[in-house]
Structure 1
Amino acid sequence: MSNPTKQHDVLRKVAFRLLPMLMVLYFLNYLDKVNVGFAALEMNADIGLSSAAYGLGAGLFFVGYFFFEVPSNLLLTKFGARIWITRIVLTWGVIAASMSLVQGETSFYILRFLLGVAEAGFFPGIVYLLGVWFPRQQRARILSYVYAAAPVSFLLGSPVSAFLMDQGHGFAGMPGWRFMFAAEGLVTVVAGIVAFFVLVDRPTKAKWLTAQEGEELERRVAAEDAAVDATHNASSIRSAFTGRVFLLSFVYFGIAYGIYAVGFFLPQAIKGFEGQFGLTLSGMQIGLMSAIPYGFATAAMLYWSRRSDARGERIYHVLIPALVGGVALTFSFALGSPFAVMAGITVAAIGMFCCIPVFWQIPASFLTGAAAAAGIGVINSIGNLSGFFAPYLAGYLRDVTGSYQPGMLVAGLFMIASGFLVVLVAGPR
């Protein structure tokens, strides 16, 4: 497969077979993770949750995620990505649907924690699987296609969640937010069943590649990994627990902090435009407005990842959007009109999401094999603890000050710090 045209054709075939399924799963993953932000428009009042209690429950997801992330990723290398990712999707779908049964603070906290346990290992599993199938030079662009499902889940998920809440109200006597949780969770279960028959662990197991295509693609990726391993001893499991890995975890913590601070509270903040600016909005209008920043973020992320791959540069492709997004988020909620606030949040969303696909190529530059699975798990689990602190602190500050601005100021500062930190810890590129 030395012919570049032949190589390109094989990779196109791989992308066509795997990426649509992974994008659907990741869309549902983000939707089931953050649809609680939209449910909160009704749920908090129905079951008596304060902003701080809601933020704590929203964040407990990431505590469960933290404790089970690395073990889940190591089990993935034992059982194979196909079986393990399917297991993850099925269990999180069942628990996500069970969110429709929440009765108060305690059950809300328990189910959010269990949802995090169930989802642990999913995104690192995708990163690991793509690393088996695609050469390094193309991985940021390929990962950006999958990760595009995250902003798209906000883009489409907000109006879809609003629609389900509106139309499902009264179904079997339940309020709309309960119907929304049940419907979206059951869709995830169905997607998990389909994934079992679509995903393939490695090129030589794919029936839709010829034996020669599978062997040569696998050999090409293995040769790249061997070259990295020769330089960094990258396959040693100890490589996953170095200072460099932990410092990259804090870089990811700051970037993800901004994403979760906005994701969990943007619908409620837009609803607050009524008191702040005298702007009355329906649930569907709130959903559509919540989607605007993520539409722009999706397009920008795809362009930025392609640019990073073309130039073979990662560090400044993380630094620049982290600084721009952080500064925008710091000031967005202090602006004097709903249009200015939405413009600021849109710039912040572009910065946040442009960072992520490029960022994940940095640990891949010095980790391979089981060390890559464990190292990506370490970075993702520590980084995603921001999903606990961001909603809880933002909710607490909202209760104390009556404004979302202090919480977003903290989030913006974390993003700015991440931008500077990635330059210090990334090492050879």
Structure 2
Amino acid sequence: MQTDVDVMRKVVWRIVPLIFLLFILNSIDRVNVSFAALQMNAELGFTPRVYGFGVGMFFVSYLLFQIPIAMAARSYGVRVCLGLMSIAWGLAAAGMSLVHTPTQFYVLRFLLGVTEAGFAPVTLYYYSVWIPARYRARVTSKNTIAIAVSIVIGAPLSGWLMTSTHTLGGLSGWRWMFVAEGLVPVLLGIYTLLKLPETPRDAAWLNEAERAWLLAKLDDDAATRTQHAHSTERVRALPRTAGSLRLWACAGAWFALTMGVYGVIFWLPQAIKHLSNFGDFTVAVLAATPWVFAGVAMWLNARHSDRHAERLWHVVLPTLVGALGLAASVVVGGGASAYAMLLLGLIGLGAAQAVFWAVPMDFMKGAAAAGGFAFINLCGNLAGLLGPNVIGWIRQSTGSFADVAYFLAVVLLLGALLLALALRARRADGPTGDGAGARG
């Protein structure tokens, strides 16, 4: 039989590329509204508050339907759920081309959130069915990279589609952009329904020895897994989790980081357009370029953090760099200097996000960890809901992006300080029994 590494290489090459591509398309359909806004807002008369509220509506349904759809995957199978979700979110994304009123905008963003809500947890569950625990971290890390890749690809693609199809058939370029980018996940969803193997038992490209080895590894993981504790144990752990100062600090820091990232994603194209006379394609390229550097920063900071076994300052310091970059982009004025500072800010945000989850993993153990991770992630989704609305209100009230940059810088500064003060204080006191922070 082949070596274990050879078997896993075969499994990864058969499973991961499709999921990675779906992640890219998922992210493109979520954020391409930021590029459509370059034409859409003016054409439809959408104010910054209307746009911000519509962007935030995605996260309302995303929060409400994430768990039910994830549970459905266990009943109906990952292949069916992933395939139908891809088709559904593609249709919802393409449906954005039909928007004419704010209400239609809100409804379609809400529907997009419904159709995308279960994608991340369902894919993580699928990996647990296929990938032994020893290899899982390096596989799931590709999901984070896919988000940066989606912006690097999706931004110039969106800009090109909007400019090249402008007034084609009497329709605006932004409408064609939604149609074109929405149809791709529909096609890939059909392929997923037809071709995605549900479990290793369904994979014709595994021989009997490979299948037996993989199933044995997965069975061993299931037997020794501690994170999926009994429900009664998780219930008893909830009071400890809720009482952890470090948990709340992590939740606050993740809220700040998520608000900063989504603030840049959803508003950067408009800010560049506002400060320049560039065309939509050039604006899209300029909005995408910083994410190339952010992706590199993610990899370098995570690697450096692993090498030195240090987590806290690999999150705090890049977050401070992110805050500094956003604030400095206003102070230095417009032009290349402001763009360079925005680039610095995004590098900081990307580097911080890449290492962040290693911080709560260091002190949350056992049954308390599951609830703690879910709570932190919930706070991040709340930032996605609140951030666009607050930024839209600031933008409409002041007519400037300067106050938006200052607001995001302050939020990031507070998140970094909260994380540093709470975790440093606990380490100085030594391990305690507070909530999720208690060790063995």
Per the alignment, in what secondary structure is the counterpart of residue 182 of structure 1?
helix
- Give 1:335 deviation, angstroms: 2.6
State the 1:397 CA deviation. 0.8
Aligned counterpart for 2:178 among listed residues 181, 206, 219: 181
What is the correspondence of 1:2-151 to structure 2 with a 5 Å cutoff?
6-136=3-133, 138-151=135-148
> Deviation of residue 184 (structure 1)?
0.7
Distance 1:323 1:207 in 2: 50
Gaps of at least 5 residues in structure 2 are 424-434
Partner of 2:429 in structure 1? none
CA contact (8 A) 2:299 2:354 kept: no
Equivalent residue, structure 2, for 1:285: 282
C-alpha distance in structure 2 between counterparts of 1:180 and 1:413, whole Å: 35
Say yes or no: does 1:252 pair with 2:254: yes
Equivalent residues in 2 for 1:11-410 (5 A)?
11-136=8-133, 138-224=135-221, 226-229=223-226, 234=229, 236=231, 239=234, 242=238, 244=241, 247=248, 249-274=251-276, 280-307=277-304, 316-360=313-357, 379-410=376-407
Q: Is the 8 A contact 1:141 1:302 kept in 2?
A: no
Residue 317 to residue 236, structure 1, CA distance change in 2 (3 Å): farther
Q: How far is the alpha carbon of 1:413 from its aligned partner?
A: 3.5
One-letter amino acid of the counterpart of residue 116, structure 1? G
Are 1:144 and 1:302, in contact at CA under 8 Å, matched by a contact in 2? no
Distance 1:102 1:361, change over 3 A: same
User: Cα gap change, 1:324/1:237 in structure 2, threshold over 3 Å: closer, same or farther?
Assistant: farther
Tell me, in whole angstroms, the C-alpha distance in 1 between the residues paired with 2:33 and 2:291. Answer: 17
Partner SS, residue 281 of structure 1: coil
RMSD over aligned CA atoms reads 3.3
Question: Which residue identity is paired with 2:270?
Answer: Q
C-alpha separation in 1, matches of 2:288 and 2:238: 39
Bigger RCO of structures 1 and 2 (CA < 8 A, at least 6 apart)? 1
Give 5+ residue unaligned stretches, structure 1: 275-279
1:342–1:68 CA distance, 2 compared to 1 (3 A): same
Instruction: State the secondary structure of the residue aligned to 2:331.
Output: coil
- Note the alpha carbon deviations across 1:204-262, whole angstroms, 9 max, x for none: 44332333333433443554465451xx6635386388364874554432221111100
Distance (Å, rounded) in 1 between the aligned partners of 2:345 and 2:125? 28
Give distance in 2, aligned partners of 1:332 and 1:139.
39
C-alpha distance in 2 between matches for 1:394 and 1:116 = 20
For residues 75-127 of structure 1, give each alpha carbon's deviation from its aligned partner in whole angstroms, at most 9, with x where no partner exists. Answer: 22333332222222111111110000001111111111111111102122223
Change (3 A) 1:408 1:131: farther
Deviation of residue 47 (structure 1)?
1.1
Aligned equivalents of 2:202 and 2:273: distance in 1? Answer: 50
Residues 40-92 of structure 1, C-alpha deviations (whole Å, 9 max, x = no match): 11111111100111111111111111111122222223333322222221111
CA shift, 1:36, in A, is 0.8
Q: Is the 8 A contact 1:202 1:218 kept in 2?
A: no
Partner Cα distance (1:364, 1:224) in 2: 19
Deviation at 1:203, TM superposition (A): 3.6
> In structure 2, do the counterparts of structure 1 residues 226 and 181 end up closer, same or farther at CA, with 3 Å as the change threshold?
same
Change (3 A) 1:320 1:140: farther
In structure 2, the CA distance between the partners of 1:146 and 1:415, relative to structure 1 (3 Å rule), is same
Kindly indicate whether the alpha-carbon contact (under 8 Å) linking 1:140 and 1:361 is maintained by their aligned counterparts in 2: no
Deviation (angstroms), 1:289: 0.7
Rounded to whole Å, the distance in 2 between the matches of 1:178 and 1:126 is: 30
Greater Cα offset, 289-298 or 334-343: 334-343
Paired with 1:33 and 1:322, the residues of 2 have a C-alpha distance of 24
Is this contact kept in 2: 1:140–1:306, CA < 8 A?
Answer: no
CA distance in 1, matches of 2:160, 2:22: 21
Q: Percent identity?
A: 37
Give the CA deviation at 1:292. Answer: 1.1
- Distance of 2:356 and 2:284 partners within structure 1: 29
Structure of greater Rg: 2
One-letter amino acid of the structure 2 residue matched with residue 44 of structure 1: N
Structure 1 residue 179: Cα displacement: 0.8
Asked whether the 8 Å contact 2:275–2:334 carries over to 1, the reply is: no
Which residue of structure 2 lines up, in the alignment, with residue 421 of structure 1?
419
After alignment, is 398-407 or 177-186 more displaced? 398-407
Residue 88 and residue 174 in structure 1: after superposition, are their counterparts in 2 closer, same or farther (change >3 A)? same
Aligned in 2, Cα 1:249/1:198: closer, same or farther, shift over 3 Å?
A: farther
Distance 1:252 1:15, change over 3 A: farther
Give the structure 1 partner of residue 428 of structure 2: none
Contact 1:239–1:367 (Cα < 8 Å) also in 2: no
AA aligned opposite 2:164: Q
8 Å CA contact 1:329–1:411 kept in 2: the answer is: yes
Which residue pairs with 1:277 in the alignment? none
